[in-house]
Structure 1
């Protein structure tokens, strides 16, 4: 399939609708944020200086759900209508039945994501006990893994272990994006870069069973990206609204599940190292979460209590402006995203080099930050 012939069409139907819906939906959320109790006030570990609306996640959720509702309706109308199919690219028509067969799964996923969005909005309004929050996250993740049968394909023959790792993966990514949401444009921008990178992986890595691009997963990631771009219009510095827990939980969940739904290795099994692509793409959020938890635990503080020990805050303390810190993290994330794309298309020797580049880049960051960590521990 020659993607270049209809890539513009794919972007038009997966990125533009959620972008528009998210962008427009957030305007009323901003206007009524105070009445909804969705406001972030200065103080504590927060670095912003003005009262700022929360609830950007509502717009992100609307962009994703409305787009998939329209898409579901469109596929239902077109799949048995030859006249309407004539308006679609020829390469898309054979995939209509395959997409339709996964609609039920899609809406169960969106329902699970909606539960997390509601949990996050409640957390934004008045806070939720961290143990209850984790319990809900694990319950939703377990539903996806055990109920919908999504899980890692990591060449591990022990079924129960892959399922447990899959649940941990989902919960870990939910919280990594939540913890990354600490500066204007940061979590949303990083998530958009990761979603785009992984969508490219899906479009350029064929499913061994069909030898076709993984359109369903790619479409999900591109819809998430489009909705995030609509949110970033409002969240760019100085932010008019924050994503809030409702948005970060949803985005982390959908990206995590999309990575579980995907196939990375080639059909002949010659590139098993491709399964590391999600880890490369997620290197920055996972690095931030790991180092923050390490710093908090080492200093004898609760891992659940927010602070200013995040990657972005540490870059600012090293002398960067907040905008420079965010752009630096974008650059590192983009590099890791490119590495994830390369990893699915190279042989073992080149893959070792790609992984080595990512490892050296993260090690360089650690070395640059080590002085600041030492001063924090004194």
Structure 2
């Protein structure tokens, strides 16, 4: 009897079952079909415009389903995690910040909001976890010659990283399955590290997000019951990935023999490399064209892949495999000096993500690409 109880409370079992329950909740309780029905009934749809990928109206409030699945499943497993009062307080502030971002995204999906207003609300949500939970990046471990950060600079830089990742994920949500698949890959990477460190709460959080995203992906890739994540989903996913990433940086190296805390920041860059690289690239291109970096266009890497003739699933698979390849390269070179490891990530990242722009692929370029959505 004791062995059965130990099995049910073991981290591997909780990790697998939490991801499974999140997936089942998303796919077996008519959650997304109800959201799709209400969206169609009330006209809450993403309407095709110039440069859009899709040609028909599609519900774009999939983030509501993501939030419901993630939050309910996570709360369901809280009693099994032997949490301290501090853990529960952190969890509540995390969910509160997620709720703020959910409503921000819903409003932006339904009624256009200016970038300034969205940024202010994002800063409020992010500050809740950075200041109240003391979730922050406190040490660069010699990266670029920087070590321990003063408290104020640490908080400010952490808030910047949160906002950067949130908007990077938002920007790559331009084709079916991409943001979800990148989120699954990143959460899986973080979850493995949290599992090795025996951090129950963060491991379950990663597993629940994976299950929730897989459940959403089923409908996002559907031909007859399609739904988009929308800003209400991409903002939440970006926030949760940033939260996990900072937790990943703060893993105690004494708990994980294979873990190298000095180079963990390099591995984090590799894990989130595609959204961060794409964000940096489009900003540079827009500025070079004397446009605002916040102007929407069709210059993302996934747009290029569509012009080369790939469909949504193929483009998503190409980018996920590229991201995974960079993670593996970084992992196997993690014992290099930290700045040398950074050079490896940057060089291989540029090679992998700029591959579709090589002239050798020009012959596959369509003369008139289908309408593409700016993100």
1:127 paired residue among 112, 123, 130 = 112
In the other structure, the counterpart of 1:78 is: none
1:323 equivalent in alignment to 2:329: no
Give yes or no for contact 2:66–2:216 (8 Å, CA) kept in 1.
yes
| Alignment match, 1:347 | 335
For residue 289 of structure 1, report the CA deviation from its aligned partner.
Answer: 1.1
Residue-by-residue CA offset, 1:209-253 (whole Å, 9 max, x unaligned): xxxx22222221111111101100101154700000000000100
* 1:33 aligned residue: 39
Q: Is residue 354 of structure 2 the alignment partner of residue 366 of structure 1?
A: yes
Name 1:260's counterpart in structure 2.
Answer: 246
- 1:108 is aligned, of 93, 115, 119, to 93
Farther-moved stretch of structure 1 (236-245 vs 129-138): 236-245
Number of residue-to-residue matches in the alignment: 342
Q: CA deviation at 1:21?
A: 2.1
Deviation readout 1:14-53 (Å, 9 max, x if unpaired) = 2012212233311100111134443111122321111111
Given that residues 197 and 338 in structure 1 are in contact (C-alpha distance below 8 angstroms), is that contact kept between their aligned partners in structure 2? no
Of 356-365 and 105-114, deviating more is 356-365
RMSD of aligned Cα (Å): 2.9
TM-score (norm 1): 0.82
Show structure 1 runs of 5+ residues with no match.
Answer: 76-94, 207-212
The answer on whether the counterparts of 2:266 and 2:338 sit within 8 Å (CA) in structure 1 is no
Report the CA distance shift for 1:221/1:321 in structure 2 as closer, same or farther (over 3 A): same
Q: What is the CA-CA distance between 1:180 and the residue it aligns to? A: 0.6
Report the CA distance between 1:179 and its aligned residue: 0.5
The more displaced of 242-251 and 136-145 is 136-145
**Is the CA contact 1:21–1:66 (under 8 Å) kept in the aligned structure 2?**
no
Moved more, 19-28 or 333-342: 333-342
Question: Is residue 62 of structure 2 the alignment partner of residue 56 of structure 1?
Answer: yes
Of 177, 181, 189, 2:173 maps to 181
Tell me, which stretches of 5 or more residues in structure 2 are unaligned?
1-6, 140-146, 366-375
Secondary structure at 2:49 match in 1: coil
Q: CA deviation at 1:68?
A: 2.0
Corresponding residue for residue 166 of structure 1 = 158
Aligned counterpart, 1:279 = 269
Partner of 2:25 in structure 1? Answer: 21
1:117 aligns with 2:102: yes
- Could you say if the C-alpha distance between residues 46 and 71 of structure 1 is closer, same or farther in structure 2, counting changes exceeding 3 Å? same
| CA distance 1:37–1:170, shift in 2 (3 Å) | farther
State the match for 1:91 in structure 2: none
1:153 and 1:37, CA in 2 relative to 1: closer, same or farther beyond 3 A? farther
State the Cα distance separating 1:182 from its structure 2 match: 0.5
Deviation at 1:136, TM superposition (A): 0.8
CA shift in 2, pair 1:9/1:36, >3 Å: farther
The 8 Å contact of residues 278 and 340 in structure 1, kept in 2 or not, is answered as no
Select which of 57, 65, 68 maps to 2:71. 65
**Structure 2 match to 1:84:** none
Q: Is the 8 A contact 1:265 1:274 kept in 2?
A: no
Distance 1:265 1:272, change over 3 A: farther
1:350 and 1:132 mapped to 2: Cα distance? 38
Name whichever of 115-124 and 272-281 sits farther off.
272-281
Structure 1: distance between partners of 2:201 and 2:326: 23
How far apart, CA to CA, are the structure 1 residues paired with 2:179 and 2:55?
19
Contact 2:274/2:353, CA 8 A, preserved across alignment: no
